[in-house]
Structure 1
Amino acid sequence: MLNYEVYCSENHTNMAQGTNSDEPVVIGEEVGNVRLITLNRPRHLNVISPETVSLLAEYLENWEKDENVELILIKGAGRAFSAGGDLRVFYQGKNSKDACLEVVYRMYWLCYHIHTYKKTQVALVNGFSMGGGASLMVPMKFSVVTEKTTFATPEAAIGFHTDCGFSYMHSRLPGHLGEFLALTGARLNGPELVASGLASHFVPSEKLPELEKHLVSLNKGENDAVKSLIEEFSSKVQIDENSILNKQSTIDECFCKDSVEEIIQSFEAASLKEGNGWIVPILKGLKRFSPTGLKITLRSVREAREQSLAECLKREFRLTINILRSCISGDVYEGIRALTIDKDNAPKWDPDSLEKVKAEDLDNVFQPYEAHLELQVPEKEECRWDGKYENSAYATSKV
């Protein structure tokens, strides 16, 4: 749900100015059998506030029940789709045990609903799509990206974890690419998202408005018709020679290790080999990140490999609440402070090294709640994202 780089470098000043209360944070429009959602906080890179979650849930729930609705489009105003969750909400609630409980619960239900939605959804993503913001894109049957799209899940860096269903999605990427993305917060561009199966189509940004018009004019949500129309505007992706998707063998070799310590050690050794200069800045970042956040994230993605969507969301919900309650560490608040509040970029992690993160503390933060306190989502329901990777360019081309 969180994003640290965008907030720190681009969004903090704007956020401090406040939101114009006259402007809705989400705009819902009805055109025939099509419904359009616009995330409408462009000055704030469309961060997800509690109000955003509530409105999105209300729109989607009502439209799923409406027999006249066939197709849902979602986009972001301005230069972002969504840069993730609103860090201020968490930081302001740090002294209240359950200040964020309701909004976290609502967000996880929204994630589940998007994954299992019964009607055709299309995300039009032309800009930042990070953390929880990307959870409004990746699970959809059709997720259209452009050359301006930037994706990342950088939560581990600030003592948080890969959330909003991304332990489930990352764990199903090829090899150990999921662990790599979750631990390093590495960015993917539009073509890389399509190649990896995290998006369905690449459309040049100048064609996106016209595609939107044609989708509205189509006025129906039949999958083959929607797919065929999008393909008229889409381009075949070409992965850059230096893309991390071309580093899969090295990523698998290093990120298959059992512990974060072993992963970093292996990655460090790989960085000394000729042609592996790309590792150096990523490794530098890893060593700066929250030790607690890294350990929770690795274990979460690993557990997700053997779990259903519902099980993953329940575990992520539990982890989120326990982290916000500082059950294992207060790193998430220190990370937000250092990178977005005081902006000194000098977080003081506690504990300050991987070796000091106790196994029993990790066990406690993963411990299931009593049944009535868990996230209540159905155990068995078709997940729209399952199998998406098998048809991706990555799978067929073996990049």
Structure 2
Amino acid sequence: MNDVKFLIHSGIGRITLNRPRALNSLNHDMVLAITEHLETWRSDAGVRAVLIDGAGDRGLCAGGDIRAIYEDARGGGTASLRFWADEYRLNALISRYPKPYLALMDGLVMGGGVGVSAHGSHRIVTERTRLGMPEAGIGFVPDVGGTYLLSRAPGELGTHMALTAGSITGPDAIHCGLADHFVPGERIPDLLDALASHTPDTALDLFAEAAPASGLAADADWIDHCYAADTVEEILTRLHSGGDAAATTAKEIEAKSPTSLKVTLRALRSAAAMPELETVLAQEFRVSTRALSSAEFVEGIRAQIIDKDRSPQWAPATLSEVDESLVDSYFADLGDAEWNGVTR
């Protein structure tokens, strides 16, 4: 298919997301095609490693096809549920893939882009990397295993990333456990050439460098203190009294959906106690299913992506109005509609 290209060369199975005008955003057909090739390559003696990258010069992947999800949600459809179920199965497959799985995380790596990269065995960032889980900004909650990854970042850095919906640099991603290697962008072509005749580890030894200092790590003291609180309300109270940077962060968070903020915090805390990625993905699918039918998700996409007025009208409008029973509903058991029971 044209939206994703597959090539085997010198033992490397290469996956190139090929929608540069859409920042290589993922659609359902792409997810199914990638899964099919990974399953085939698993037992193919001619493939010793897999590499995923993105076409164009703007990034690996900006996430899922949010416009398609918007139309589905607005129309009360269920196509997004089938997409998410298959996408999450792909994330799980990548996490346990038996061959080296290299992810070239250059440029933008957002949402679903994190899902097809940060679960891999060899995760490569550059000075251009901007990685984030922006879901809270559109009335949604981090998924694709994002709550699993962020809940395991040092201290409360993952909570900070999730609630602000902001992006981080390549060095930040390495510090947070979301990436492994820093390779300057100008050396990427040489790295790709080296993979033809070297193992992934040897090639990376040749071209990876010590990452620059992480700016996020430098802010860890106030981040860890503020986000260690048990509620979003207390986190905001601490941020407002934590200095200029913290107070600015509080204002960013306060612009997000109150419902999404509370659901996101609970999802992160729950994910931290779950031993396996698949268990977290099951929880994320419950949350995503509930979000698809919520007005918050539709309104968030409308304000940020469709109309771009950046003025979402959240309902409930304040944290105090978000009843715990509403938060509970996002985590309710789906019975036969659990993620592994949903088929295409």
What residue number does 1:122 align with?
Answer: 102
* Shift of residue 185, structure 1, vs aligned partner: 1.7
Aligned with residue 85 of structure 1, among 60, 64, 80: 64
Deviations 1:176-207 (A, max 9, x none): 11111111123211122223321111001010
- Alpha-carbon offset, residue 154 of structure 1: 1.4
Whether the 8 Å contact between 1:267 and 1:279 is mirrored in structure 2 is yes
Deviations 1:115-170 (A, max 9, x none): 11111111112110011111111111111111011011111121100110011111
Q: Which contiguous aligned blocks of 4+ residues in structure 1 show a shift greater than 6 angstroms?
A: none
Q: Name the CA distance, whole Å, in 2 between partners of 1:125 and 1:179.
A: 21
| Shift of residue 279, structure 1, vs aligned partner | 2.6
Indicate the residue corresponding to 2:260 in structure 1. 293
Matched, 1:358 2:323: yes
Residue of structure 2 in register with 1:232 after alignment: 206
Task: Give the conservation status (yes or no) of the 8 Å contact 2:85–2:340.
Answer: no
Distance 1:190 1:169 in 2: 15
1:255 CA displacement: 0.3
CA distance in 2, matches of 1:350, 1:196: 33
Amino acid in the other structure paired with 1:159: G
Contact 2:157 2:176 in 1 (8 A): no
Report Cα offsets for 1:36-83 as digits up to 9, x if no partner. Answer: 110111111111111221111111111113232211011111121101
For structure 1, which runs of at least 5 residues remain unmatched after alignment?
1-22, 219-224, 272-276, 378-399
Q: Give, in whole Å, the separation in 1 of the partners of 2:175 and 2:159.
A: 17
Tell me, what secondary structure is at the counterpart of 2:123? strand
Inter-partner Cα distance in structure 1 for 2:143 and 2:176: 19
* 1:47 counterpart SS class: coil
Maintained 8 Å contact 2:222/2:246: no
Taking the aligned partners of 1:187 and 1:97, their CA distance within structure 2 comes to 30
Gaps of 5+ in 2: none
Q: Give 1:235 shift.
A: 1.0
Report if the CA contact (8 A) 2:158-2:176 is conserved.
Answer: no
1:100 counterpart SS class: helix
Q: Distance in 1 between matches of 2:37 and 2:172?
A: 31
CA distance in 2, matches of 1:345, 1:375: 32
Q: Is the 8 A contact 1:201 1:231 kept in 2?
A: no
When normalised by structure 2's length, the TM-score is 0.95
CA 339–186 in structure 1, closer or farther in 2 if over 3 Å, else same: closer
Instruction: Say which SS state the counterpart of residue 186 (structure 2) adopts.
Output: helix
CA contact (8 A) 1:157 1:294 kept: no
Identity of aligned residues (%): 36
- For residues 262 and 283 of structure 1, the distance between their equivalents in structure 2, rounded to whole angstroms, comes to 11
- Does residue 368 (structure 1) correspond to residue 327 (structure 2)? The answer is no
Q: Which residue of 2 aligns with 1:311?
A: 279
Q: Is 1:140 the counterpart of 2:120 in the alignment?
A: yes
Aligned residues: 338
Hey, what does 1:70 align to over in structure 2? Answer: 48
- Specify the alignment match of 2:23 in structure 1: 45
In structure 2, the partner of 1:252 is 224
Per the alignment, residue 263 of structure 1 pairs with 235
Aligned-partner Cα distance in 1 for 2:145–2:66: 18
Post-superposition offset of 1:252: 1.1
Distance 2:191 2:301 in 1: 38
The 8 Å contact of residues 151 and 187 in structure 1, kept in 2 or not, is answered as: yes
Question: Given that residues 142 and 162 in structure 2 are in contact (C-alpha distance below 8 angstroms), is that contact kept between their aligned partners in structure 1?
Answer: yes
Contact between 2:174 and 2:180, CA under 8 Å: does it hold in 1?
yes
Tell whether 2:1 aligns with 1:26.
Answer: no
Give the CA RMSD over aligned residues: 1.4
> SS of the residue aligned with 2:333?
coil
Q: Which residue of 2 aligns with 1:7?
A: none
Structure 1 CA distance, aligned partners of 2:110 and 2:29?
Answer: 19
Q: Distance in 1 between matches of 2:115 and 2:80?
A: 19
Residue type of the partner of 1:361?
L
**Alpha-carbon distance in 2 for matches of 1:33, 1:339:** 42
State how far apart, in whole Å, the 2-side matches of 1:229 and 1:124 are: 13
Q: Distance in 1 between matches of 2:288 and 2:174?
A: 29
